Amino acid sequence: MDLALKPEHKAFADEVRAFARANLSAATKAKTFSGKHYDKDDHIQWQQALGRQGWLAYTWPKKYGGPGWDVTQRFLFENVLAEEGAPRIIPFGPKMVGPVIYTFGTDEQKERFLPGIRSSEVSWCQGYSEPGAGSDLASLRTRAVREGDHYIVNGQKTWTSFAHWGDWIFCLVRTNPDAKPQEGISFLLIDMKTPGVTVRPIIMVDGAHHVNDVFLDNVKVPVANRIGKEGEGWTCAKFLLANERLGIAEVPASKRGVRSLRDIARAEPANGATLADDPAFTAQIADLDLQVQALEMSELRALSTMALGGAPGPEVSTLKIRGSEIQQRITELAMEAVGEYAAPYQPGMLFQDTNETPIGPDHAPPAAPRYFNFRKTSIYGGSNEIQKNIVSKMVLGL
Ligand SMILES: Cc1cc2nc3c(=O)[nH]c(=O)nc-3n(C[C@H](O)[C@H](O)[C@H](O)COP(=O)(O)OP(=O)(O)OC[C@H]3O[C@@H](n4cnc5c(N)ncnc54)[C@H](O)[C@@H]3O)c2cc1C
């Protein structure tokens, strides 16, 4: 594969880099490289800057207000931003519900919802999973009963990332309990300020607040907020999940993770030298590096297929499996590198405003919390076991 960049692509990468350097706050960037938690402002200020530039919805076609970039531009954009320490774009608006709305929504829905997603003025969250309906999503029980030009929605969503920051939630709801499970589901957009919506935090093992329970108690939702026909929500759900799995491999962040492992190895003492002089440790980093490069090639293959008009197929499940395993491996090696300094638990060190002094080197306190937090990557977006089922059935035909 010829990976030499054309001059116009080099110029494009320079433009993205200059933009990031001018618009990404130093505090946010520092959090990225030190493994600290972002707060809402870090994400929103950065996303709104991208929005003003017309780059937040960078995967969208021009017709819907995206930049209409080719695969190489998208690839460069993601990589340059990761190198510059930008937080990952919260995907629920620009990468998930936006494409559903412009693909399945009415003209009125496109006009109403797409501008706020493109600018990040409106934040979204994803209401798919429920207690008892994660892997087996089609068994979801949140019920929407039609009353005139509204639905009355009752149920519970769980593991809802960033619901506490969300202005809107896109939900899968059951509109027909008598139909086959997949046929009785509809796709509804719900304003989080509607009476009857309650968000309850779930605190992660590293002290972070990312996920929530969302309770829906007699929530009145206009029928005009339904995307697609009643009972055809599963079509939107599957389209969205394929897009979700394509973006979830997080290759640019893993490349940054490998670079940071090399920095840690250079800083960590080992028997009078540093870990960077230990062939056993550096061989593990080199192996990981190769795995990241191989994954990047596979992701580019999937993107090229899409660029030629194809849809992401079941093979994107392999990207999700490999991408999540690599992310977990990076956190494992970081913890191995700091050795006993991974043991002290200093949750304050993960937040910006702390007077705590790190026990051990600066990069030690986040190592164990990140290791534990990253166990999530093989669960969210459809667990890796489920992805393996998809590969075995749809790709290998077993
Ligand atoms: C950090 C985090 C953020 C999340 N954010 C969101 C969000 O924003 N919105 C949202 O809707 N959801 C979100 N989720 C939910 C996520 O999609 C589900 O957790 C996931 O789909 C698994 O479902 P479950 O938790 O119900 O586990 P279960 O489905 O109960 O699975 C439990 C275990 O059994 C295995 N298993 C289940 N069925 C099979 C099978 N048929 N074959 C083999 N193994 C199987 C699974 O792999 C898993 O290991 C998030 C989850 C996490 C951890």
Model confidence at 354: pLDDT above 90: no
The CATH number given to 124-231 is 2.40.110.10
Model confidence at 18: pLDDT above 70: yes
List all residues whose CB is within 6 A of at least one atom of ligand 1. 125-129, 134-135, 159-161, 211, 376, 379-380, 382-383, 385-386, 389
pLDDT per residue over 135-156, tens digit each? 999 999 999 999 999 999 999 9
Ligand 1 centre from 383 Cα, in Å?
5
Candidate list 78, 84, 232, 244, residue with the active-site label = 244
244 is catalytic: yes
pLDDT of 110 reads 98
Q: Which residue has the higher pLDDT, 315 or 156?
A: 156
The average pLDDT across 289-318 equals 85
pLDDT of 70 reads 87
Model confidence at 223: pLDDT above 70: yes
Q: Give the residue whose CA is nearest to atom 2 of ligand 1.
A: 380
Model confidence at 245: pLDDT above 80: no
Model confidence at 202: pLDDT above 80: yes
Q: What percent of the chain has pLDDT over 90?
A: 80
The average pLDDT across 156-167 equals 98
Q: Which residue has the higher pLDDT, 354 or 237?
A: 237
pLDDT of 310 reads 74
Domain ranges of the chain: 7-89, 124-231, 249-395
What is the third-level CATH fold of 249-395? Butyryl-CoA Dehydrogenase, subunit A; domain 3 (1.20.140)
The average pLDDT across 37-49 equals 96
Model confidence at 213: pLDDT above 50: yes
Average pLDDT of the residues of the chain: 93
Q: What percent of the chain has pLDDT over 70?
A: 99
Give the confidence band of 1 by pLDDT, cuts at 50, 70, 90: very low
| pTM of the shown model | 0.94
Ligand 1 centre from 143 Cα, in Å?
21
Ligand 1 centre from 270 Cα, in Å?
40
pLDDT per residue over 260-301, tens digit each? 999 999 998 888 899 999 999 999 999 999 999 999 999 888
Q: Give the residue whose CA is nearest to atom 12 of ligand 1.
A: 129
Give the confidence band of 304 by pLDDT, cuts at 50, 70, 90: confident
Ligand 1 centre from 249 Cα, in Å?
17
The reply to whether domains 124-231 and 249-395 share a CATH topology is no
Range in 4-13, 134-143, 345-354 the model is least confident about: 345-354
Model confidence at 305: pLDDT above 90: no
pLDDT of 332 reads 97
Give the confidence band of 348 by pLDDT, cuts at 50, 70, 90: confident
Range in 73-77, 90-94, 115-119 the model is least confident about: 73-77
- Whether residue 311 contacts residue 103, with contact meaning beta carbons closer than 8 Å, is answered with no
Model confidence at 3: pLDDT above 70: no
The average pLDDT across 321-339 equals 96
